[in-house]
Amino acid sequence: MRERKERLKEVSYYPGCSLHGTAREYDESCRGVSDLLGIKLSELKDWNCCGASSAHCTDKDLSIALAGRNLDIANKGGRELLVPCVACFSRLKAAEAETEKEGVPIRYALDFFSDEPVIEEIKKRLVRPLSGLKIVCYYGCLAVRPPQLTGVKEYENPQHMDKLMGAIGAEPLPWSYKTDCCGSSLMLVRTDIVKKLTGRILSMAREAEVDCIVVGCPICQANLDTRQGELASETGETYDLPIIYFTELIGLALGHRDVKKWLSRHIVDPVKVLSARGLI
């Protein structure tokens, strides 16, 4: 692992609940990549759950208050706020719009790492370009919609993750399901819907003949990763497609020493395909 150079910047960091639990590899890879790039992440002190998938459905005032409290903490820090979980990002942006308070910039991690200065820094520090790795980028719903909150102009066919992955040597292939819904939090209450939606996404990725699907959302990752076994048992369709966070692949390209630890937490093993490509 390369030694860290001078700090590019310091930003506030809101991990959210998933990244302290089932999506620890996303949290650790986000922190690890930031460290290699000279970006200091300062986790918000005493942050709380943003309400994500349920609060806004049951009590609008509660959902605004939960996210708003985190924004107040971030605003006191005065630094740009980096948010890896796209559900958290969506709730924070919604609360910002509802309260009409102008505070620090709220940045979704994918957008942040896709900024041109960050991409240039990544290119400078490449240790292992991911040549030969064929991927599709799956943005999901909330990374791009609603555009009045996300600020994404190409919300039907976004390109920033594709550009970021291309910068580390991977080959992003075109496909038509990059912004389709995976079922999100219905994973617990309507598994039939989730399996139908994830089955479509996985089938289209398989048709594109890719090595893996790249994501930036812990809910999308969980749905696409954990449902493959059930789909194989129920439909006979075998996918065996690793669902990898974009930060994990950046970490691999930058030579981070903990990449195998991150990847070991996945259901569908990414190491097999990465080894076959001579990348790990």
Short-list 37, 137, 31, CA closest to 82 = 31
Q: Give the pLDDT of residue 52.
A: 82
- What residues does each domain of the chain span? 9-113, 128-276
How many Å apart are CA 43 and CA 10, to the nearest integer? Answer: 11
Task: Note the pLDDT of residue 55.
Answer: 62
> What single-letter DSSP state applies at residue 212?
E
Helices (H), 173-245: 191-207, 218-235
Grouping H, G, I as helix, E, B as strand and the rest as coil, residue 243 is strand
The model's pTM is 0.95
Domain 9-113 top-level CATH class: mainly alpha
Whole-number Å distance between alpha carbons of 236 and 232: 5
Spans of the chain below 70 pLDDT: 1-7, 53-57, 189
Q: What is the DSSP letter of 268?
A: S
**Is there a common fold for 9-113 and 128-276?**
no
Distance CA 46, CA 69 (A): 10
**What is the pLDDT, as a whole number, of residue 24?**
98
CATH number at 128-276: 3.40.50.11810
